[in-house]
Amino acid sequence: MTNGILIFLMAFLFLFLGYLGVPVAFAIIASVLVVTAFTPVSLASMMTQLFNGIDVEALLAVPFFLLVGELMTSSQVTTRMITLSQALIGHVRGGLAQVVTLFSMFFAGVSGSSAADVAVLSRSIGPDMKREGYDAGFIAALIASAATMANLIPPSIMAVVYGATGNVSIGGLFLAGVVPGLLVGFGLMIYSHFFGPVGVRKQRASFAQLSSAVKGASLPLVIPAIIMGGILGGFFTPTEAGVVAVIYIVAICIPAVNRGYFRRLPHDMAMTGLLYSIPLITIAAASAFGWMLAYLRGPTVVSGWIASAAHNDPMLIMLLLVGLFIIVGDFIDAIPAIIIFMPIILDLTTNAAINPVHMGVVIILTLAFGLITPPYGICLLMASKFTGVTFWRAMLASFPIYVVFFVAIAFTIYFPSVVLWLPKYFLPQSVGCFPNPNGSGYICPP
């Protein structure tokens, strides 16, 4: 069999088994093992590829950022952040819709998990929004869209996986994700203000209420400073920043906010232990898939097609990749997509001299958008399930919101200087700058 047929067979088997109800990780592994049988590669050596996929120190950050989200949610520390969001913005038109977006921005800064964000919002603000007469489809669509920011605003699990597998600076990706994340956030606020339901107009919070809310939320809001401050100051790696955030929550936040929670801590540790294994076994499977794809020279062929179609124009290459990833993100989860397609991305990034951090943030933003697109929009699926509305209604309500993501993606592609400003300023070496031999500042590529 030719390489092309084997690649087609592997992709077909994965999607066929996946859509018949085989778990994603097992569908990927089954397709890889079947195709390996037609090659000279030994099946036993594919087990090494599975292992190599997760034997990466940077991936240790994934469980810690999941644990931060789980602990914050379970101990109800997040309710203080919701109160602060309500005090800040609850009085404007579509108040609760604005609160959803603002809370997601805060929460994205402490947790890298969209799933945790959807769970918190659907259970806490979702019922209030229903009582105020918001359309259930709109609630699910807005919560799902706002939750995607967890993958953009640092710390982001997608950025950790992208950086670890693509050998790109995770700190640089974290910082480059801030501008697209805020663009999505402000875009959702503008959309809710002009096109969303009015909701019930409330009185502006008094200064006393606002200062009380700020005081209440101050402990959890230190977490982003710990994480980013630790990484940018060179004190911690992203993994260590994650564990320091966990210790801060367990030792300081929870005793101050909810002492009774400690009885649940062992359960939540066990639950997070289970939760982190799910994306990571998928990463292991996807890295074996990616290895086999590279062995069959798939990335060279596909990147050749894209490069020739785009005449090596970096912007056009990124647009074509966005198109590819919008389609891919509709059918498979973001994490296996990153790993499976990483060889293609790396090939194109190198050949077209695109900044790897810029390419990374464009891909992450596109895959974050994939979390709300059918048929496999996992955030939208979860939000519709939690808010008790059909996926179809939530999907219809989410269509107009796509415009926000299209604008954010276009801005991220066409204005790299704005997107890369933060990493260039705080972590110059992450975007290819090098120290000036004169000793003053850095010299950066254009």
DSSP 63-95: HHHHHHHHHHHHTTTHHHHHHHHHHHHTTSTTH
Nearer to another protein (CB atom), residue 64 or residue 106: 64
> Is the CB of 282 or the CB of 387 nearer to another protein?
282
Per-residue binding letters, 3-22, with another protein (x by CB under 8 A): ------------x-xxxxxx
**Binders of another protein in range 372-391 (CB under 8 A):** 375-376, 378
- Angstrom distances, CA of residue 387 to CA of 256, 382, 425: 31, 9, 42
Q: Which stretch binds another protein (CB under 8 A): 25-33, 130-138, 354-362, 405-413?
A: 25-33
**Contact flag: residue 149 with another protein (CB under 8 A):** no
Please state, in angstroms and rounded to a whole number, the distance separating the CA atoms of residues 181 and 108.
9
CA atoms within 13 A on the CB side of 388: 5
* Residue 390: CB minimum distance to another protein, A: 13
H helix intervals, 249-333: 254-257, 265-295, 298-309, 314-331
- Specify the amino acid at residue 23: P
Binders of another protein among residues 327 to 356 (CB under 8 A) are 331-333
C-alpha distances in angstroms, 54 versus 26, 223, 275?
A: 16, 27, 15
47 sits near another protein (criterion: CB under 8 A): yes
Residue 138 CA, distance from chain mean position: 22
Q: How far is the CB of 428 from another protein (least distance, A)?
A: 25
Q: Considering beta carbons, is residue 111 or 303 the nearer one to another protein? A: 111
Rounded to the nearest angstrom, the gap between the alpha carbon of residue 254 and the centroid of all alpha carbons in its chain is 26
Minimum distance of another protein from residue 244's CB (angstroms): 7
Stretch that binds another protein, among 53-61, 82-90, 408-416, 437-445 (CB under 8 A): 53-61
- Binders in 254-293 for another protein, by CB under 8 A: 266, 269-282, 284
- How does 371-404 read in b/e, with b if 16+ C-beta sit within 10 Å? bbbeebbbbbbbbbebbebebebbbebbeebeeb
Interacting residues with another protein between 60 and 119 (CB under 8 A) = 60, 63-64, 67
Q: How far is the CB of 439 from another protein (least distance, A)?
A: 28
Site size for another protein (CB under 8 A): 60
* Length of the chain measured in residues: 446
Q: Does 40 bind another protein (CB under 8 A)?
A: no
Q: Does 57 bind another protein (CB under 8 A)?
A: yes
State the Cα–Cα distance between residues 333 and 371, nearest whole angstrom: 8
Q: Which residues bind another protein (CB under 8 A)?
A: 15, 17-27, 29-30, 33, 43-48, 50-51, 54-55, 57, 59-60, 63-64, 67, 236, 239-240, 243-244, 246-247, 266, 269-282, 284, 331-333, 375-376, 378
